[in-house]
Amino acid sequence: MAVKVYERILDLFEAEGINTLFGIPDPNFVHLCLTAEKRGWTVVAPHHEASAGFMAEAVSRMTGKPAVAFGTLGPGLANLMPAIQCAKVENSPVIFLGGQRARITERRVRRGRIQFVTQEGMITPSVKFSSSIEYANQTDEIIREAIRQAMSGTPGPAYIEYPSHVIQEEIDVPAVRAPSAYRLTNQSAGGEEIAKAVKLARAAKNPILLVGHGVHTSRSQQPVGELAKLLGCPIIQTSGGTSFIKGVEDRTFPYGFSPSAIEAVVKSDLCIALGTELGEPVHYGQTRHWVANAPNRKWVYVEQNPQAIGVNRQIDVPLVGDLRAVVPQLVAALKDMPGKPSADLDRWIKEDAARLSDLAKTAPSGKKPMHTARYVVEATKAFPKNGILARDGGATVVFQWTYSQCKPNDVIWNQNFGHIGTGLPYAIGASVADGRKRPVMLLTSDSSFMFHIAELETAARLKLPLVCVVGVDNQWGLEVGVYKRTFGQGSLETGVHWSKDVRFDKIAEGFGCYGEYVDREEEIGPAIARAYASGKVGVIHVPIDPKVNSEEMPSYDEFRTWYAEGTQ
């Protein structure tokens, strides 16, 4: 059967369950986009290619599948670079398609060519795989290799160059293969290793599950929840794994920020680490809270990349494979466990619930501008049932770790790379992946929100059920704090303040969205409800105290231990 190259690319992506494209169509991509839309795909054209990449990354997180973003040659690819870097550090399997001039033009000895730069050499260090469709009959092998490498081992991005000379070529192709016919899918662990892990689990008196980002991006939440119930153990969240698994929300505690989590870690005699790199935010599983009782603690580590085993710490039983297959193996092997809770679990649950309740009561009230803790408490108390939470910002995110009153099953934020400005594109991508059904809340601050504020129009055009709650302190909060800690109170603070005349509610109205200005804490929840009820994308502008936001971040000493500069 003869098909155009762009048609075959769509066929190959469809075999992987991909049905969404993000990018700004140019001559290289108009055929691809038009054909995709005719097939029933969702084609989202944002206002900046970086936003396209972030949106695609959110889709991969919400679906557990690869996602696709594209950019035109030259400036389009340059604009995609922030998203490519984020996908690399966040371990997101995004396939980036890059347009390019025909090779006959590129290989000429010429000067002064328009909208042209050699791209692949620039991008190759930032992706797991990079290649170019030089000849039409390479299409299958290159697309498949990009997906194979993006999804194998530690997931990550791939880049495929799409030169204009191959766009309209036709190729005779066989039927499209299923993913399992050309790459390893749902890799299970060996039976001997599973038996060793089960033996440790049965012997443990105080097991814990250390749950990271990968549990949620692989969509393995259900079997992980079943495993926690079988073991009768708490779930300790890494800073990247801040989503809550349905049915076990009450036994889930954030590492380092909850006394229940710290005590559970200290007492643990078995840690089963799932979907985490065991990186700096959990002190490599070696220092700080892990030191006490370390000689008596065993480690089981489920990791898809065998080269990651034993790098950050010694592991007793490595289970090399895909969480989607390995965790069900453990559940099946432990199905006769009584599920009796560990001795302290009920107390930890009660103490953590009391901690959250106390934080809601004691967060400073009646302040103008509003205390950041109160802003977070009131906004998260109004978080919609079954909603998706997108998180963004610097200091405001630190406040969210401590004061959040909601336990969403899906939290999307850029933790590993710490790239602010991703929140609005992430919220849009997550909603598109969800089919625009569940309500989405973006909880952010003004500095981050302004990065990609133009995407409000994209969200409005797509009619997404999205409300953005923006804490406004007219500064780079974290950086102001650095100035004060470095040079003292009253020192000059260069480059970290801006006009206090910016009104995000008014900007929202200009984009056809619902906007509301709220400076009283008791009005935050009702304003959020009104925004959802409006049927429009909503933006709630909430002034917050700049001094508090820069100087009074909760658990800041714990946060700083992530940056131990080689001492861990």
pLDDT at 567 (0 to 100):
60
| Token pair 């000379």 in the structure block, residue | 165
* Phi then psi dihedrals of residue 90, to 5 deg: -85, 0
CATH of 2-181 given 3.50.50.60, 2.120.10.30, 3.40.50.12160, 3.40.50.970: 3.40.50.970
Q: What is the pairing mode between strands 129-132 and 170-172? A: unpaired
In the sheet with 514-517, reading across from the earlier edge strand, the strands are 410-412, 388-391, 440-445, 466-472, 538-543, 514-517
Question: What DSSP assignment string belongs to 397-428?
Answer: HHHHHHH-----SEEE---SS--TT-HHHHHH
Q: Cα–Cα distance between 235 and 25 in angstroms, integer? A: 44
pLDDT at 490 (0 to 100):
85
> Per the structure block, which two tokens stand in for 382?
């109004």
pLDDT at 564 (0 to 100):
67
Query: What architecture does CATH give domain 363-560?
Result: 3-Layer(aba) Sandwich (3.40)
> Per the structure block, which two tokens stand in for 27?
């001559």
Q: Where are the domains of the chain?
A: 2-181, 191-348, 363-560
Q: Cα–Cα distance between 175 and 481 in angstroms, integer? A: 59
List the beta bridge partners of residue 517. Answer: 541
Q: Which residue type sits at 445?
A: S
| Token pair 């990791």 in the structure block, residue | 303
> Per the structure block, which two tokens stand in for 57?
């990354």
Q: What is the pairing mode between strands 2-4 and 170-172? A: antiparallel
Question: What is the SS3 assignment for 472?
Answer: strand
Closest CA to 145 of 176, 183, 175: 183
pLDDT at 565 (0 to 100):
61
Q: Which residue type sits at 225?
A: G
Cα angle: 354, vertex 358, 364; to 5 degrees = 165
Condensed to tens digits (0 to 9), the pLDDT of residues 466-510 reads: 999 999 999 988 888 889 889 988 888 999 998 888 999 999 999
For residue 42, give Cα distances in angstroms to 52, 80, 419, 435: 13, 20, 26, 10
Query: What architecture does CATH give domain 191-348?
Result: 3-Layer(aba) Sandwich (3.40)
- Other C-beta atoms lying within 10 Å of the C-beta of residue 109: 4
Q: Cα–Cα distance between 71 and 32 in angstroms, integer? A: 12
Measure CA of the first residue to CA of the last residue in the chain; give whole Å.
58
Question: What DSSP assignment string belongs to 486-506?
Answer: HH-TT---TT-B--TT--HHH
- Helices marked H in 232-344: 259-267, 323-333
Helix axes 372-381, 395-403, angle to 10 degrees: 60
Helix axes 477-487, 395-403, angle to 10 degrees: 100
- Other C-beta atoms lying within 10 Å of the C-beta of residue 4: 19
Condensed to tens digits (0 to 9), the pLDDT of residues 392-417 reads: 999 999 999 999 999 999 999 999 89
Q: What is the pairing mode between strands 42-44 and 20-22? A: parallel
- Helices marked H in 129-237: 139-151, 191-203, 213-217, 221-231
Query: 240 near 86, Cβ under 8 Å?
Result: no
> Per the structure block, which two tokens stand in for 115?
């909208």
Q: Which residue type sits at 414?
A: N
pLDDT at 119 (0 to 100):
86
* Phi then psi dihedrals of residue 435, to 5 deg: 80, 20
> Per the structure block, which two tokens stand in for 442?
């973006």
- Helices marked H in 295-340: 323-333
Question: What is the SS3 assignment for 168?
Answer: coil
For the chain, 568 residues long, the average pLDDT of each consecutive 10-residue run is 93 98 94 97 98 98 98 93 97 96 78 81 95 95 98 97 90 94 96 98 97 97 97 96 96 96 97 96 95 96 96 97 98 90 93 97 95 98 97 93 96 93 98 98 97 98 98 91 88 89 97 98 98 98 94 85 70
Are 191-348 and 363-560 the same fold in CATH? yes
Is residue 509 classed exposed, middle or buried when 0-12, 13-18 and 19+ CB atoms within 10 A define those classes? middle
pTM here is 0.96
- The conformational region for residue 240 under phi > 0 = left, psi -120 to 50 = alpha, else beta, is alpha
pLDDT at 112 (0 to 100):
80
User: DSSP letter at 167?
Assistant: T
